[in-house]
Amino acid sequence: MTVVRNPVLPGCYPDPSICRVGDDFYLVTSTFEYLPGLPVFRSKDLAHWEQIGHVVDRAGQLDYSGIASSGGLYAPTLRHHDGVFWLVCTLVDQQDESRGGNFLMTATDPAGPWSDPVWLDVDGIDPSIFFDDDGRVWVHGTRLARDPEWFHQTEVWLRELDPQTKALTGPEHILWTGAVRGAVWAEGPHLYKVDGAYYLLAAEGGTEIHHAISVARAESVTGPYVGNKGNPILTHRHLGRGVDVVGVGHADLVQDADGAWWAVLLAMRPYGGYHYNLGRETFLVPVTWEDGWPVFAPGQGRVPSQVEAPTRGDAQPGIAQGHESGVICPHDPRWTALRHLPTELATPRGDGWDLPLRPDTLADTGAPAFLGVRQQHMDVDVRVTFHADLAVGEDVGLAVRQSEQDHVRVFVTRDAPADAPARRVVAVHRQGGVETVLGEARLLDDQGPVTLTVSARGQDYRLLVGAPGEEPVTVAVADGRTLDSVATGGFLGLWLGVYATSNGRPTSTTAHVERFEYLPAH
């Protein structure tokens, strides 16, 4: 057996969906406005996960233009049937509800390539797909109830899918309107068939402190579904905000090759008060069956800090699990960008990138020159070393990003030529769309490379500058409690990345990123 430490995917990897093919498990998570989208992971033991690709990994698959933070790709479901991987998901544009919707993609290899999306003629979010043993295929999802009994009551719908045309067909069935009266947002619905009975798993209460997992059962896939009298079958909401793991929900079930059952789910780890800067992470929980119902975390009733999982082979922890420390090279699957692929914005060069400056800033919903990775550790140093021949008013720096409206950045900029020396380092906190200068420093060297560092220790984000190989100097310290989704809204954890902007001006400047380091402070 292998000891699995939770979370199995630290950092912002929410809404996990899992399936098994032979001895291999495959898992995907949400990615919102970041590209490449929907990372695909593989594991043989549920403990060690290797990222093998992305579902959305080429230009033109989906139109991300103008999608603001916490929009984009929500809640994928991954399934395998007759040699084909099927994925359904939602593209959300919170500024334009007429845009986006639910779609389906397929692949014979989960590492890709995946097909272009086939759009499904149905509203709502969080679609899922179920292959019955009679050959019929069903798509289901959640949306606001058409005739609600209370505010934000939701309903789970079901329709048949023609696997050849990939079009929904036949009548719609409403399966579920909630396990608990007054509960909002039944999310992440999934159907399973176990011992001849159909099970509907869903989360309720919203993806925050009141998140909870409930289950219902039926003799027919179309219902009627009867809820478990013990619903919710797993939640941490009764433990309060001071517990180590909160917001437990959005689960998906899988059975291993030995017949044991497991659930992957999302939850958050608060620190420095009720703040979870790492976002919604992926956890693993054992499941047993009693009296025809699933029991999550039997004997404990809460997400354990570690579980024993089956061992198959000598697997090593994957890069995405936060076990790698050091330079993040361009081929590393952790790299993401905003609404564009990293390779659309920058060119790999050695251990780093050539990153052309763009007029867009981090406050824009366009295509800023930003390359970032998830923050996966509460204590971590992130360093970037670069050189750039900046024009007046151009910036290159490091950012701690929550959204367009909320982020911290430390950057090098050039003043008017009359100033001597001409380069400054500035630390700025953008909070709710309002920018405040946290600190400044002068660079005596007007041409050489610069190393900028974000040193996170809990909720203190120290912003430093120095020449390569020299002791860095603190420019400012930012309060991380102002940056998480509790403080700002939205659904994301924090990203740490390098950015380069001409602040709205035409430019031909390129920032030469020599290296980008992610160094957990174990």
Counting Cα atoms < 13 Å in the Cβ hemisphere of 18 gives: 31
Q: Where are the beta strands (DSSP E) in 365-457?
A: 369-374, 379-387, 395-401, 407-414, 423-431, 434-442, 450-457
- CA–CA separation, 240 and 210 (whole Å): 10
How far apart CA 295 and CA 114 sit, in angstroms, is 35
**Eight-state DSSP code of residue 13:** -
Rounded Cα distance, 148 and 140, in Å: 19
15 is catalytic: yes
Radius of gyration of the chain from Cα atoms? 23
- Single-letter residue type at 215: V
Residue 352 near residue 331 (C-beta atoms within 8 A): no
Query: Phi and psi for 480 in degrees, rounded to 5?
Result: -65, -20
Catalytic residue list contains 187: yes
Cα separation, 514 vs 498, whole angstroms: 11
Residue 252, SS3?
Answer: strand
Give the other-Cβ count within 10 Å of 474's Cβ.
Answer: 14
Helix, strand, or coil here: 498? strand
Rounded CA-CA distance 84/21 in Å is 10
**Chain centre to alpha carbon of residue 40:** 12
Q: What does the block give as tokens for 52?
A: 């093998």
| Token output for 436 | 């405040």
Q: Which of 187, 204, 252, 360 is catalytic?
A: 187
| Residue tagged active-site, from 15, 93, 160, 394 | 15
> Of the candidates 207, 219, 226, 320, which has an alpha carbon nearest to the alpha carbon of residue 265?
207
Residue 320's SS3 state is helix
Please give the C-alpha separations between residue 413 and each of 421, 438, 484, 506, in angstroms, as whole numbers.
11, 15, 27, 16
The set of catalytic residues is 15, 187
